[in-house]
A and B are shown apart, each in its own frame.
Chain A
Amino acid sequence: MNKIFRFLTLICLVLGFWQANVWYFQIPDYLLPDPLHISQILFEKRHLIFQHSLPTLLEILLGFSFGILFGCFAGLSVALFKPLRRWFLPALVISQAIPTFAIAPLLVLWLGYGLTSKVMTTVIMIFFPVASAFYDGLKNTPSEWLDLAKSMQASRWRTFYYIRIPAALPELASGIRIAAAIAPIGAIIGEWVGSSRGLGYLMITANARMQIDLMFAALCILMLLALALYFGVDKGLQRWVWW
């Protein structure tokens, strides 16, 4: 309860400061609309914003899910098979040296203007932190637990399943939290580069038409989606991976 109160107070303070500045310095709407005006636009254009929110939400959720799935699979494979570690790990690191923004146009070219290219952009952004966190977790199982399993003559696979994977889950959870924070960025980058719907598309077109208030309204919804995803995921992880 205290947390929510602090959070709401902080938001009210930021919005109040913003509103006061716009009034005091008489900043024109086309440069920085005030929060009251944005809330008015949010209400007036609610159908349009809702219509564009759904594809973005779908891209975020799909990208987030597939990113985690592929990241977990990569982390597991690299931890399990040594030869793969030698070849795949450097390739993984090199792949991260290429900014996602730079390859997003290529993804649109290869995968089209639809959902797939946006989901893929998100997957590429999420994949590495998840894979890397899971691999680190699997690599750093406390040796005492491994000794315990060895003293019980456990097979490698059973040790992996019953000890190493559960022991790695807290680190995987950290990777998933990072993924939840960056998933909306991936979807928006994809939409900026080439799309015909979504909040990113709405922001780009509103900006081009000098509808800065609409751009801010879309940004607000995007922020709310991102916060809901992060806190929802965080709450779920705290509940399921509590050790």
Chain B
Amino acid sequence: MTTNAILISNLCLALQGKTIFSNFNLELPAGCWSALLGPSGIGKTVLLRAIMGLNADAHKSGSILLNGKPVYQQAAYMAQTDLLLPWLTVLDNVLIGDRLQNKQKHFARQFLETALHLLDKAGLAKTAHLYPHQLSGGMRQRAALVRTLLQDKPVILMDEPFSALDAVTRHSLQNLAAELLRNKTVILVTHDPAEAVRLADTIYIMHGSPAAVTVAAHLTSLMPRDLSEPTILNAQKALLQQLLDSHSEAA
């Protein structure tokens, strides 16, 4: 057992009478990216929400810990939609964590400086005063990424964060996320095998009911990876095949 890892132990979870997880165990290594793939409705998002403690209407037991503490206290969550608040500017949106947590004033100043620096890195410095409806989908998702980063948590949970974007924007956002989230523990839920092999160190496939996971691939090269590289291309092909197998097994 790795000591520095997210440990999901004996997780049992049922939603509206349907058992999603039963004595589910998983160890996700800290400091690297883990991708979760699997058919729709299998429970990937439910697992992320369980880690964040967001399944208020679920019957849940078991523990999800990192270094002996609940993971939700050490994690930031990035959803499929940007969840920017329409009445706040981009800058105020990325600072919302500060307001919601009531940080001390001297921290707030530091927080603002970090926010401006990260917005600049994300290419949003000139749009910091704009409102979400004035931004493109890619810009909004970049702002959501900066907001997630500003929470300064060691664990980042991402639920298909780039799925609604066009291919070019998705590619550039993957690069940005890989750069900004280096050395963080990232759990990425995705439907896209290419995204998984580009970004993740370990790729898991979720299957069955109640859900179980198997390790589908383990990649050691530096990410974001070049999809045209033969080894990565092969990994993507193999992953796709495994996904097809798990889909046909489910059917």
**A residues neighboring B (CB under 8 Å):** 144-145, 147-155, 158-159, 162-163, 166-167, 169, 243
User: Which listed residue (A151, A154, A159, A169) contacts B77, Cβ 8 A?
Assistant: A151
Contact residues in B for A151 (Cβ distance below 8 Å): 52, 54, 72, 75-77
Cα A158 to Cα B100 with chains together (Å): 6
Would you call B100 and A159 a contact (CB within 8 A)?
yes
- CB contacts (< 8 Å) of A155 on chain B: these are 100, 102
Provide the bound-state CA to CA distance between A150 and B81, in Å.
16
B86 located at the interface, meaning its Cβ lies under 8 Å from any Cβ of chain A in the complex: yes
Taking a contact as CB atoms under 8 Å apart, the answer to whether B87 and A150 are in contact is no
Q: A150-B54, A151-B76, A153-B101 are in contact. Are A144 and B96 (CB under 8 A)?
A: no
Q: Which residue of A lies closest to B148 (CB)?
A: A151
Residues of chain A lying within 8 A (CB to CB) of residue B100: 149, 152-155, 158-159, 162-163
Cα-based distance from A86 to B17 in the complex (angstroms): 29
Say which residue of A152, A153, A158, A163 sits within 8 Å of B85 (CB atoms): A163
Q: Check: B83 CB closer than 8 A to any chain A CB.
A: yes
Interchain CA distance A210-B221 in the complex, whole Å: 95
Residue of A152, A153, A169, A243 near B96 (CB, 8 A) is A152
Minimal Cβ-Cβ distance residue in B for A157 = B102
Contact B83–A166 (Cβ < 8 Å): no
B86 A243 Cβ-Cβ under 8 A: yes
Q: Which of A151, A152, A162, A243 has the most B CB atoms < 10 Å from its CB? A: A151
Having A145-B83, A151-B75, one finds 17 other A-B pairs with CB under 8 Å, namely A144-B79, A144-B81, A147-B49, A147-B52, A147-B54, A147-B79, A149-B100, A150-B52, A151-B54, A151-B72, A152-B76, A152-B151, A155-B100, A158-B99, A158-B102, A159-B100, A163-B85
Q: Contact at B99–A148, with CB atoms within 8 Å?
A: no
B83 contacts across to A, CB distance below 8 A: 144-145, 148
Taken together as a complex, chains A and B put the C-alpha atoms of A160 and B88 apart, in Å, by 15
Q: How far is the CB of B170 from chain A (nearest CB, A)?
A: 21
Q: 1/0 per residue B106-142: CB within 8 Å of A?
A: 0000000000000000000000000001000000000
Nearest chain A CB to B231 CB, angstrom units: 36
Complex formed: what's the CA distance from A158 to B101 in Å?
A: 8
A-B contact pairs, 23 of them (CB 8 A): A147-B52, A148-B77, A148-B83, A151-B52, A151-B72, A151-B75, A151-B76, A151-B77, A152-B97, A152-B101, A153-B100, A153-B101, A155-B100, A158-B99, A158-B100, A159-B100, A162-B96, A162-B99, A162-B100, A166-B85, A166-B87, A167-B85, A243-B133
- Bound form: Cα–Cα A159–B99 in Å: 10
Q: Would you call B53 an interface residue if the criterion is a C-beta within 8 Å of the partner chain's C-beta atoms?
A: yes
Contact of B53 among A149, A150, A243 (CB under 8 A): A150
For residues 32 through 66 of chain B, which have their beta carbon under 8 Å from a beta carbon of chain A?
49, 52-54
In the assembled complex, which residues on chain A have CB atoms less than 8 Å from the CB atom of B133?
A: 243
What CA separation (Å) do A169 and B97 show in the bound complex?
A: 21
Cα–Cα distance between A163 and B83 once the two chains are bound (Å): 11
The verdict on B73 contacting chain A, using a C-beta distance below 8 Å, is yes
Smallest CB–CB gap between B48 and chain A, Å? 10
- Bound together, the chains give a CA A159 to CA B72 distance in angstroms of 18
Complex interface: chain A residues within 8 A of B54 (CB): 147, 150-151
Residues in B with CB closer than 8 Å to A169 are 87
A158 to chain B, nearest CB (A): 5
CA gap between A153 and B96 in the complex, in Å: 12
Chain A residues whose CB sits within 8 angstroms of the CB of B97 once the complex forms: 152
Query: Roughly how many angstroms separate A169 CA and B81 CA in the complex, as a whole number?
Result: 22
Expressed in whole angstroms, the minimum distance between the Cβ of A151 and any Cβ of chain B is: 4
What's the Cα separation between A59 and B17 when bound, in Å? 57
A19 to B88, CA, bound (A): 52
> Could you tell me the distance in whole angstroms from the C-beta of B246 to the nearest C-beta in chain A?
28
Give CA–CA (A148, B54) in the complex, Å.
Answer: 9
Hey, which chain A residues are within 8 Å of B151, CB to CB? 152
A152: chain B residues at CB < 8 Å are 76, 96-97, 100-101, 151
Point out which of B53, B79, B96 has the most chain A C-beta atoms below 10 A from its C-beta: B96
Select from chain A the residue with minimum beta-carbon distance to B77: A151
Residues of A within 8 Å of B102, CB to CB, are: 155, 158
Interchain CA distance A148-B86 in the complex, whole Å: 14
- In the bound complex, CA of A167 to CA of B88 (Å): 11
Query: In the assembly, what is the distance between CA of A159 and CA of B102, in Å?
Result: 11
